[in-house]
Amino acid sequence: MRSFFKMTAACLVSAFLAVVGYAYFSEPQQIIIRENGGLTKYAGMNEAPDAATSVNYMRRWVSSAPTDFTSAAEISTPAVVNIKATEGTGLGGWFDTGSYGSSSGSGVIISADGYIVTNNHVIEDGSQYEVTLNDKREFIATLIGKDTNTDIALLKIEPDEPLPVMQIGNSDSLRVGEWVLAVGNPFNLESTVTAGIVSAKGRSIDILEGEYRIESFIQTDAAVNPGNSGGALVNTNGELVGINTAIITRSGRYEGYSFAVPSGLVQKIVWDLRNHGIVQRGMLGVGIGEVTNARAKQLGLERVEGVIITRVTADSGADEGGLRKNDVVVAINGTGIKTVPALQEVVGRFRPGNVLRIEYIRDGKRYKTNVTLKNRYNKVAADVKEDKSPAEEIGFELRNLSTDEKRRLRTEGVYVVSVLRNSKIERTEMDPGYIITKVNDTRVNTVSDILQELRKTEGKVLLEGFYENYPGEYYYTFKK
């Protein structure tokens, strides 16, 4: 027994001395892994992981690094500007005292010739737009177009030389937990930079108005305060991955949650505004809702997934593609759909005439179909920018009742889709969903009927109608 202990002790001492000697006399090795044509060195590693492990390790390492944001800040800040929107008196001469009412925020230069993307709510209260660059140069901008459904607007300035541009990154590649920067230019303080992580994707916070609104925000904990709206959400490569749009707050200041429109959606909106003046919005032609646990059990789903179709518009792309009420959409063009905001964002990137591959569940079985998107008038053709109609001038968006609605409600009429902020209609306290049956005691059955009555009316206008889920008639009046 005693000899056994002596032998064991000798073995342990020998092993210890061998390890110490190897560490002292040998130099640390370097493993060089080549991926995508670049070299990345990992010093001090004595063993190379296998191929599968190395690729996965590389991707995880790149997505979470660096934690030094100086390069990203240096790349992005020159392309972030301050925007001041003012409303002039319009009197001119000796009576022009400047401007009354103003709002300000930030914007992002996306082309060297002067296109700037910002939030619609930054510029909506003004008619003159002053842009101050990061180097303090000042310009007067022209409004190219705006979209209330995504809160995005596009401005244009005329610089004497090419401007610094922020490259647009891929917001789809963002991962929850990834570092991002919020870059703004508030109150002409030059660019301000804050850091945080992606807290969630596909968030809806119910701040936008209109039937066609798209809320699929990137949520971060990067500090965003008043004046930073319209600024850039930037990844660690200095690429634009979102436009900072909103915060959730009780105090009016940042309290931990900020929200950005994903760059994938922004890029599509900007392209449409630049080339058409309006957004080419492709419509599936369905009403949608979330799939709850109870609804999943009711429909016989194996798990809670997808978005349920609550109605299908007659002659729409969805109708022609064979989709029905209570079908559950689970994928579009191979992209999994789990929430209403996710579906809205995916569809929002396409235009009338585009064909989508829809995967859906009906009666517990999976099916696929092709759906051709249509515009708001249920046509495949692209939308054409038009001058404001009388309805838009006074502040609401209208559509004709569908055949199903006429049958269900047993009436003709015109449906109020949305009410514009700070408009004559908003001041009447009318809500979306109001169904107009008469204008100044004249029966109206279509949007054209209403426009005709509004065009020939001067002074007081009286609207008569009802809400589907509330008893009785409702009356609203305003002056043109």
Domains identified in the chain, total number: 4
Residue 384 lies in a domain: no
Contacts of residue 151, defined as CB under 8 A and 6 or more positions apart, other chains included, come to 119, 120, 121, 208, 245, 261
Looking at residue 293, its amino acid is N
Residue 18 lies in a domain: yes
Q: Three-state DSSP class for 33?
A: strand
Catalytic residue check, 383: no
Q: How far apart are CA 368 and CA 273, in angstroms?
A: 33
Domain check: are 83 and 209 in the same one? yes
- Percent helix, percent strand, percent coil in the chain, to nearest 5: 25, 35, 40
Higher-confidence position of 56 and 280 = 280
Of 121, 258, 272, 449, which residue is the catalytic one? Answer: 121
Q: Three-state DSSP class for 56?
A: helix
Task: Specify the pLDDT at position 231.
Answer: 93
Domain check: are 306 and 204 in the same one? no
**Nearest of 216, 215, 212, 173 to residue 352 by alpha carbon:** 212
Of 147, 151, 272, 449, which residue is the catalytic one? Answer: 151
Catalytic residue check, 151: yes
Catalytic residue check, 121: yes
Domain check: are 139 and 58 in the same one? no
Q: How far apart are CA 378 and CA 385, in angstroms?
A: 16
* Interval 157-206: pLDDT, tens: 999 999 999 999 988 888 998 999 999 988 756 778 999 999 988 887 77
Q: Note down the domain range covering 24.
A: 2-63
Domain check: are 263 and 294 in the same one? no
* Interval 106-116: pLDDT, tens: 999 999 999 99
Q: Indicate the pLDDT class of residue 127, thresholds 50, 70 and 90.
A: confident
Q: What's the predicted TM-score (pTM) here?
A: 0.68
Residue 378 lies in a domain: no
Find which of 118-132, 203-217, 290-304 is predicted with most confidence, using mean pLDDT.
118-132
Of 229, 258, 263, 316, which residue is the catalytic one? Answer: 229
